[in-house]
Amino acid sequence: MGELLRSLHALAEARGDGLRAEFLELLSCAAAMEADPALVDLAALRAGATLQSGPHPVSPLPDFLPGNVVDASDRFQRAANAHRLATKATTQG
């Protein structure tokens, strides 16, 4: 990944743009650490090791939770009947 960023930086630098000096220094340090055989990534040696950056994610809620659905069919029926009676009263009167 570092080599790809360096290549893109070289292209951008030729056009007067590019990566910040701090980021280039970070890439250089990371490349030096990868090349050093004395450094060992301990997490990679552990069986089943996973890396996580941040808190545990919250699982998404299901579409239906018990108690969060209200049956409004009777309300719709009453509203339709009230509308029908109001319309009937205005057309007759």
Q: CA–CA distance from 21 to each of 16, 25, 58, 73, 77 (Å)?
A: 14, 6, 37, 65, 69
Give percent of the chain above pLDDT 90. Answer: 2
What is the domain partition of the chain in residue ranges? 1-40
Inter-residue long-range contacts of 66-71, CB under 8 Å, 24+ positions, other chains counted: none
Closest CA to 24 of 3, 8, 6: 6
Measure CA 19 to chain center.
Answer: 25
Instruction: Please indicate whether residue 7 or residue 70 has the higher confidence score (pLDDT).
Output: 7
The pTM (predicted TM-score) of the whole model is 0.40
pLDDT digit string, tens, across residues 31-75 = 888 888 888 877 777 776 666 777 777 777 666 667 766 667 788
